[in-house]
A and B are shown apart, each in its own frame.
Chain A
Amino acid sequence: MDPAPDPRPGAGAPGPDLRSLRTRSTRYHRPRAPFCGVGYCTNCLVRVNGVPNVRACRTPFAPTDRVEVENAWPSSRFDLLAAFDVVFPHGIDTLRGFRRPAFARGFYQRVVRRLAGTGALPTPTRPVGTAPARTIETDVVIVGAGTAGRACAGAVVGAGGRPVVLEREPGAAAVDGAEVVVGTTAVFLPPPVLGRPFPFQLIASAPGGSATEVHARRVVVAVGGYDASLWFAGSDRPGVLTADGAERMHPAKRPGFHRAVVFGGGPRALEMLNRFPEHVDAVVAPGTIDPDVSRRASELDIPLYPRTLVLGALGRSRVERVRLTRRGGSSPTFEIPVDAVVLAHRRLPHAQLFFQAGARMAWRPDVGAYSPAIGACGETSVPGLFAAGEPAGAARPDDAVRSGEVAGAAVVAGGPSPSLPVAPAPEGRHELEGYYQEWLAAGPGPGKVVVCPCEDVLLPELLDATDRGYRGIEVIKRYTGLGTGLCQGRYCLPDALFVLAARERRPVPEVGYITQRPPVVPTSLGALAGLPEPGGPPP
């Protein structure tokens, strides 16, 4: 993972200050604050110049931009519609409720329809048309200009190649000899059509802009990973955020919190301690805490709570206390006052592009996620498609460099045939399996446990589904709506796998795969409309 530059929210940049931005959730109008900082969650959506659902965390604002809050009345801090959260402490049952009496059908539909949806239909102040896509043809395309992607590009250039590198962040530095296309997210990589001069066709898009279509012979996906969420009561409350979010949205010196609890006992937790040494009050971990984390914490005089369940983040408009209990059953609960919970316990690789391309995916119990099955050079089961960095299992920067270089060399050499004999899948169980089992047994509460913040799906809906005999992640997803919102399940399905495994009493891989449908991030109809007509010139 790359060290993130210090963000300077508010400082000279017009637009909302991400530390104090407040939004409202879709159904229950619960207060929300930016959570992930990397453009996936729904918590920083604002309407900009009449365009709905713009992610404030990824948008460069101009001084003249009109920024409005969505989904709240009269304001996001004081939203009368939040009454729904209070009036329905157990949620609104749209699956089984509202069925009677017959004459009320139309009325129910109007009310429930108004509660759904996020922003309103665009009324753009500037015309937003369809922009013709840019087409690039290249031997090698590398997706991601992070540590692994840059190392890979360097290796390809060193061997005389001239790769194209796509990078989502706007400010990525150049790589000598490579063409770096910045501010462009790869959203769709269909399976290659072997036998074509350029078997791969990769679609990328810039937010609010046009699409890019890359035709390539080989693809290296080095898109990194992200910090996962965690389920507990109030996990959607302002003040709870991922390590990504803390890093991207909070300056190390003056973050928007003063006494955070860092959740996690590994390298990512250590990074958080080092970044915010004066603003962390406790380290809580689902399992054991690494020695270097313990050492650093004791230097800083920060208490440690290993093997501890987070039962709730309590407070009104933001987190004021966390409720915890030691694992192992029958321990009393206790609370510590905090104003932020930083989730730094689990990094998940971005795996969508591999899945789309048809690569064989494997469950990795050490990471607690699915990632592509790879061989020694990062080759996947799809000929010509390689993984580098976190999707290839690299956990630390030097591993990422190495995996990038190895993949780069293999790509130039033509790549080994994808037989994948190496790296047997690690065995065992992820620590969150046992964690969630105990969490369920502890009787989750107090208050709502919002398991899917995008769609405001509540834990009881999920438990009810398994009680009724619905099994497997695919069906539970469709039954509850879990994972069907704007983040497309990034912040709920990885946890759902563990909770379902506990409920269904079977190993995680039997609960199913998290199907990831294209595009990787929402991509505007206008940009997609600019893709060239098949077999014809661009429109």
Chain B
Amino acid sequence: MTPPTRRSYRVAIVGGGIVGLFTAYHLLRAGAGPVVVLERGFLSSGASGRNGGGVRQQWDTRATVRLMREAVGAWKRFGREFGTNVWFRQGGYLFLATTPDEVGRLHKVTEAVRAEGLDGRLLDATDVPRHAPALSLDGVLGATFLRTDGTLYPFPGVWGVYEAVRALGGEVCLGVEVTGVRIEGGRAVGLTTSAGPVDATTVVNAAGGWSADVSRLAGLAVPNVASRHEILATEPLKPFLDPMVIRLSDGLYFSQTMRGEVVGGLAVPHPTGTRAGVPTSVAFLGSMSRSLVRLVPALAPVGVLRAWSGYYDDTPDGFPVIGEDPRLPGFVHANGFSGHGFMLSPASSKRVAKAVMGEPTDLDPAQFSPGRFLDPHRAATPEGLQPG
């Protein structure tokens, strides 16, 4: 355990995943004052150490495309700004549609992508092999491809930002659990933790799959729901697949990492076992293998090396929650990232830092603010492209 060294901080961040760490980084860069990140597990024990490393700009809402476009720039620069190499490889994202309805959805996505000045392409099934020769085209009606999407290796991202936070004088306390949110005069004024109380002018809830619990500690009801997602990796193979591939019909996603492993899952929440640890199920191993082998028959003899799972933090409309809670001044949300918090984190955390500093952000409140769930009339249309 690394306990906090001071009693009082400008900002106390709950959760030392990529979101909490990046938020701390941007706050320190902006000269916010003393910042502490409180993480109950080890570094990368949450979703930030359990994800598929996908980074895409193909979304059906332009605001998300814009945010992700900025994030892609940040991931490209990451190695030069931070001491570690995330191996962000722009092999593209290939979305496969197998029904006319899905083709329609991909149309909408490509429109949004192109409207933001990116080179998204709608493809016929016959164009698919050019981007991913190993795929069976059985049932594929159409596809989209964006060359500048890609994949990265999440761990060095966590290490790099962690080291940068510490180099800037921030504290990252590992093995310290937040057990309560202290409220005085209707304001969040600090936390109670397993290492004692800390005071903070602002508290940030970056607790990922556990964010609803942390909000509850502050007496706030939120619609965030944790859902368990399973994922697996195969034996490492020599490179044969460049893009991340996603099939809309069953949410199958997979890519080949720099190390050669095929890593992927099914972007459907697993029905059982939320909060029962992070296990693997026989049902997942079966359905994932079936789904993958159907699309890439050559993989049938390849061994599954390991399987694991992690929690998405889902919101009703699929957009993250960024900003101060209107019900509790001093309590800022940076959560609800569903299956894409890693890729978004460099861009979203900049906005979180601004919200902490009380500065305005460019985020549409109807889409991202915590208040949107309090006012049903302001609810935005949900993000349509959830998988991967």
Report which A residues bind B (CB closer than 8 A). Answer: 26, 51-53, 94-100, 102, 105, 109, 112-114, 116-124, 128-130, 188, 190-191, 201, 203, 208, 213, 455, 468, 470, 472, 474-475, 478-479, 481, 484-486, 488, 517-519, 521-529, 531-534, 539
- The residue among A129, A130, A455, A525 with the most chain B CB atoms within 10 A of its own CB is A525
Mark contacts of B42-67 with chain A using CB atoms, 8 A cut-off: 1 yes-contact digit, 0 otherwise: 11110001000000000000000000
Q: Quick one: which of A114, A488, A533 contacts B239, CB cutoff 8 A?
A: A114
Which chain A residues border B76 with CB–CB below 8 Å? 102, 105
Q: Assuming A121-B134, A130-B300, A529-B300, is B282 touching A475 (CB within 8 A)?
A: no
Q: Quick one: which of A51, A120, A486, A524 contacts B240, CB cutoff 8 A?
A: A120
What distance in Å separates the Cβ of B148 from its nearest Cβ neighbour in chain A?
A: 12
Q: Assuming A475-B44, A478-B49, A522-B305, is B280 touching A98 (CB within 8 A)?
A: no
Q: Assuming A52-B237, A100-B79, A120-B240, is B302 touching A478 (CB within 8 A)?
A: no
Q: Please state if B307 and A518 are interface contacts (CB–CB under 8 Å).
A: yes
Which chain B residues border A479 with CB–CB below 8 Å? 155, 159
Which chain A residues border B84 with CB–CB below 8 Å? 95-96, 99
Q: Kindly state the separation between the CA atoms of A128 and B49 in the bound complex, as whole angstroms.
A: 33
Q: Please state if B237 and A518 are interface contacts (CB–CB under 8 Å).
A: no
Q: Please state if B302 and A191 are interface contacts (CB–CB under 8 Å).
A: no
What distance in Å separates the Cβ of A208 from its nearest Cβ neighbour in chain B?
A: 7
Does B85 sit at the interface, judged by CB under 8 A?
Answer: yes
Can you name 26 A-B pairs with beta carbons within 8 Å?
Answer: A52-B301, A53-B302, A96-B83, A102-B76, A109-B87, A113-B239, A114-B239, A116-B258, A118-B237, A118-B238, A121-B240, A122-B301, A128-B301, A188-B280, A190-B281, A190-B282, A201-B282, A468-B163, A474-B42, A481-B259, A484-B306, A522-B305, A524-B303, A528-B304, A529-B292, A534-B286
Q: Assuming A114-B238, A130-B293, A475-B44, is B280 touching A96 (CB within 8 A)?
A: no
Q: Please state if A518 and B306 are interface contacts (CB–CB under 8 Å).
A: yes
Contacts A53-B235, A99-B85, A529-B300 aside, 13 further interface pairs with beta carbons under 8 A come to: A113-B258, A116-B259, A117-B238, A118-B235, A121-B238, A121-B240, A124-B300, A128-B300, A213-B282, A522-B234, A526-B289, A528-B304, A529-B290
Q: Kindly state the separation between the CA atoms of A522 and B289 in the bound complex, as whole angstroms.
A: 13
Which chain A residues border B258 with CB–CB below 8 Å? 94, 109, 112-113, 116
Q: Please state if A522 and B301 are interface contacts (CB–CB under 8 Å).
A: no
Which chain B residues border A97 with CB–CB below 8 Å? 85
Does B7 sit at the interface, judged by CB under 8 A?
Answer: no
Q: Please state if B301 and A51 are interface contacts (CB–CB under 8 Å).
A: yes
CB-nearest residue of chain B to A49? B301
Interface size class of B (residues with CB under 8 A): 35 or more
Does B283 sit at the interface, judged by CB under 8 A?
Answer: yes
Beta-carbon contacts under 8 Å, B284-313 to A: 285-290, 292-293, 297-308
Does B156 sit at the interface, judged by CB under 8 A?
Answer: yes
Q: Assuming A119-B237, A488-B305, is B287 touching A525 (CB within 8 A)?
A: no
Which chain B residues border A468 with CB–CB below 8 Å? 163
Q: Kindly state the separation between the CA atoms of A527 and B288 in the bound complex, as whole angstroms.
A: 12
Does B279 sit at the interface, judged by CB under 8 A?
Answer: yes
Q: Please state if B44 and A526 are interface contacts (CB–CB under 8 Å).
A: no
CB-nearest residue of chain A to B291? A529
Which chain B residues border A118 with CB–CB below 8 Å? 235-238, 260
Q: Please state if A525 and B236 are interface contacts (CB–CB under 8 Å).
A: no
Q: Please state if B85 and A124 are interface contacts (CB–CB under 8 Å).
A: no
List the 6 closest pairs (A to B, CB-CB), nearest first: A522-B303, A117-B260, A99-B79, A526-B300, A531-B286, A528-B289
Which chain B residues border A188 with CB–CB below 8 Å? 280, 282, 285
What distance in Å separates the Cβ of B73 from its nearest Cβ neighbour in chain A?
A: 12
CB-nearest residue of chain A to B307? A518
Q: Please state if A470 and B80 are interface contacts (CB–CB under 8 Å).
A: no
Which chain A residues border B298 with CB–CB below 8 Å? 121-124
Q: Kindly state the separation between the CA atoms of A539 and B286 in the bound complex, as whole angstroms.
A: 11
CB-nearest residue of chain B to A512? B42
What distance in Å separates the Cβ of B18 from its nearest Cβ neighbour in chain A?
A: 13
Does B89 sit at the interface, judged by CB under 8 A?
Answer: yes
Which chain A residues border B235 with CB–CB below 8 Å? 52-53, 118-119, 486, 522
CB-nearest residue of chain A to B261? A117
Q: Please state if B282 and A531 are interface contacts (CB–CB under 8 Å).
A: yes
Mark contacts of B365-379 with chain A using CB atoms, 8 A cut-off: 1 yes-contact digit, 0 otherwise: 000000000000000
Q: Kindly state the separation between the CA atoms of A188 and B85 in the bound complex, as whole angstroms.
A: 34
Q: Assuming A99-B80, A517-B306, A529-B290, is B301 touching A208 (CB within 8 A)?
A: yes
Q: Please state if A517 and B280 are interface contacts (CB–CB under 8 Å).
A: yes
Mark contacts of B333-357 with chain A using CB atoms, 8 A cut-off: 1 yes-contact digit, 0 otherwise: 0000000000000000000000000
Q: Kindly state the separation between the CA atoms of A112 and B79 in the bound complex, as whole angstroms.
A: 16
Q: Kindly state the separation between the CA atoms of A94 and B304 in the bound complex, as whole angstroms.
A: 24
Q: Quick one: which of B237, B293, B307 contacts A121, CB cutoff 8 A?
A: B237
Q: Kindly state the separation between the CA atoms of A456 and B129 in the bound complex, as whole angstroms.
A: 33
Q: Please state if A98 and B259 are interface contacts (CB–CB under 8 Å).
A: no
Q: Please state if B43 and A524 are interface contacts (CB–CB under 8 Å).
A: no
Q: Assuming A102-B80, A123-B298, is B280 touching A117 (CB within 8 A)?
A: no
Mark contacts of B140-184 with chain A using CB atoms, 8 A cut-off: 1 yes-contact digit, 0 otherwise: 000000000000000110010001000000000000000000000
Q: Kindly state the separation between the CA atoms of A439 and B305 in the bound complex, as whole angstroms.
A: 32
Which chain B residues border A470 with CB–CB below 8 Å? 43, 159
Q: Kindly state the separation between the CA atoms of A121 and B241 in the bound complex, as whole angstroms.
A: 10
Which chain B residues border A121 with CB–CB below 8 Å? 134, 237-238, 240, 298-299
Which chain B residues border A95 with CB–CB below 8 Å? 84-85, 156, 159
CB-nearest residue of chain A to B154? A478
Q: Please state if B301 and A94 are interface contacts (CB–CB under 8 Å).
A: no
Q: Please state if B43 and A529 are interface contacts (CB–CB under 8 Å).
A: no
Q: Please state if A119 and B238 are interface contacts (CB–CB under 8 Å).
A: yes
Q: Kindly state the separation between the CA atoms of A165 and B14 in the bound complex, as whole angstroms.
A: 49
Q: Assuming A95-B84, A472-B42, A475-B43, is B300 touching A523 (CB within 8 A)?
A: no
What distance in Å separates the Cβ of A27 from its nearest Cβ neighbour in chain B?
A: 10
Q: Please state if A525 and B282 are interface contacts (CB–CB under 8 Å).
A: no
Q: Kindly state the separation between the CA atoms of A529 and B299 in the bound complex, as whole angstroms.
A: 11
Q: Assuming A52-B237, A475-B44, A532-B286, is B302 touching A98 (CB within 8 A)?
A: no
Which chain B residues border A113 with CB–CB below 8 Å? 89, 239, 258, 260
What distance in Å separates the Cβ of B65 from its nearest Cβ neighbour in chain A?
A: 23
CB-nearest residue of chain B to A121? B240
Which chain A residues border B280 with CB–CB below 8 Å? 188, 190, 517-518
Which chain A residues border B77 with CB–CB below 8 Å? 102
Which chain B residues border A119 with CB–CB below 8 Å? 235, 237-238
Which chain B residues border A124 with CB–CB below 8 Å? 298, 300-301
CB-nearest residue of chain B to A51? B301
- The residue among B42, B239, B258, B285 with the most chain A CB atoms within 10 A of its own CB is B285
Which chain B residues border A105 with CB–CB below 8 Å? 76, 79
CB-nearest residue of chain A to B283? A534
Q: Please state if B42 and A117 are interface contacts (CB–CB under 8 Å).
A: no
Q: Kindly state the separation between the CA atoms of A282 and B306 in the bound complex, as whole angstroms.
A: 39
Q: Please state if B300 and A129 are interface contacts (CB–CB under 8 Å).
A: yes
Q: Please state if B301 and A524 are interface contacts (CB–CB under 8 Å).
A: yes
Q: Kindly state the separation between the CA atoms of A523 and B307 in the bound complex, as whole angstroms.
A: 11
CB-nearest residue of chain B to A99? B79
